[in-house]
Amino acid sequence: MATGTLPRITSAQQVVSPFVVHSACIPDQITQFEIAALLSLRNRARHIEQQIANAEESIRARLGAGAAVEAGEHTAEVKESFRRNVSWKDVVIRLADRLYGEDRGEAYCANVLQNTEPQRTVSLILQ
């Protein structure tokens, strides 16, 4: 296994990928460096995704607890919404029309929707 390391890149530098798309019919040999680079990128992406999730949860929790946002260019707020799942509505209207007679499906769906408990959704809005 190759033990090459990837160079550290500052934000001002451009990332040069070792992965080049070849148009030749004969495939080049896949190097250990390419495999190691891909594995490193996957690990880095997983690590960054976890850091993002942790940072979002921290900000969401603090906003929910009443923390103020420092004045400046960016804003952060928690948006709360309640939604009733109605993806089934068109199918149920057709079925209710068939079972209970024409034009009864809308009334049936309105009754079901009225008696459905809404689901709470909390979103973090950053600008």
User: What is the secondary structure of 16-66 as a DSSP string?
Assistant: --S------SSPPPPPHHHHHHHHHHHHHHHHHHHHHHHHHHHHHHHHHTT
* Sequence-separated (6 or more) residues with CB below 8 Å from residue 89: 109, 113
Query: SS3 of 79, please?
Result: strand
Per-residue pLDDT reduced to its tens digit, 2-46: 444 555 555 544 555 656 555 556 678 889 999 999 999 999 999
124 neighbors 56 (Cβ within 8 angstroms): yes
36 and 62 in a single domain? The answer is yes
- Alpha-carbon distance values, 58 to 21, 49, 53, 62, 98 (Å): 40, 14, 9, 6, 51
- Sole residue written with tokens 């921290």: 58
Cβ atoms < 10 Å from Cβ of 105 = 21
Domain span at 78:
72-127
Q: Based on the domain organization, do 60 and 84 belong to the same domain?
A: no
Flag whether 93 is in a domain: yes
In a domain, 2, yes or no: no
- Residue 81 pLDDT: 78
In a domain, 37, yes or no: yes
Please write the tens of the pLDDT for every residue from 60-110. Answer: 899 889 899 999 998 888 887 776 665 677 777 777 777 777 777 777 777
30 and 64: one domain?
yes
Q: How many domains does the chain have?
A: 2
Same domain, 127 and 77: yes
Looking at residue 2, its pLDDT comes to: 47
Are 116 and 77 members of one domain? yes
Which residue in the block uniquely carries the two structure tokens 């929910």? 64
| Pair 79, 123 in one domain | yes
